Amino acid sequence: MMKKNHFTKSLIGIVAIFIAFSLQSCGYNTMVDKQEAVGQAWSNVENQYQRRADLIPNLVNTVKGYASHEKETLEGVMAARAKATQITIDPNNMTPEKIKQFQAAQGELSQALGKLLAVSERYPDLKANQNFLELQAQLEGTENRIAVERRRFNEVTKSYNSYIRHFPNNIIASMFDFEKKGYFEADAGTNQAPKVTF
């Protein structure tokens, strides 16, 4: 009886080592690493969008000081900001549909922000305000960083998606629920970051 238990434990140990080796050689650990890289890249994208959202209240308040009767535009920006910051995506459930929803909300915010910046053209004193100029420069830099992080996210996501679709990785990916992730897609007519210069 004692020898049978020892044999069973040995057999289980050998099978466990074989399974671990098989998973390693079939790319399971690489899939985990690539999936984590997608999550990190997504976090970087969200951080830049959050940075933009954090700049907006100061920008709105600065504009309000010079153009308080532009109430509809100011409220539109804040409503779009509220909507954009409410939409979040779990990196473990990053479907193309969810990314499109996130992107649409951010696009609405970009449009509202564009209207706000266009309003400033009618107010020379606002355009000369140092605080406004600094916010404009920070916003422009943030828009550039958003574009860079979105590109990086798409590159990392492409690497992950491609890896889990190659044979025999696709078998392991299917067994362990490694799902394809969505990409950012360029909106029609938005092949450049929004222009915020004056």
Query: Side-chain half-sphere of 46: how many Cα atoms within 13 Å?
Result: 15
Q: What is the tens place of the pLDDT at every residue in 105-124?
A: 999 999 999 988 888 888 88
pLDDT of residue 163: 94
What is the pTM (predicted TM-score) of this model?
A: 0.77
* pLDDT range class, residue 198, cuts 50, 70, 90: very low
Q: Which amino acid is at 135?
A: L
pLDDT of residue 189: 47
When the pLDDT of each residue in the chain is averaged and rounded to a whole number, the result is 84
pLDDT of 19 over the 80 cut: no
Q: What is the tens place of the pLDDT at every residue in 166-175?
A: 988 888 898 8
Q: What is the CATH number of domain 57-198?
A: 1.20.1440.20
Q: What is the residue extent of each domain of the chain? A: 57-198
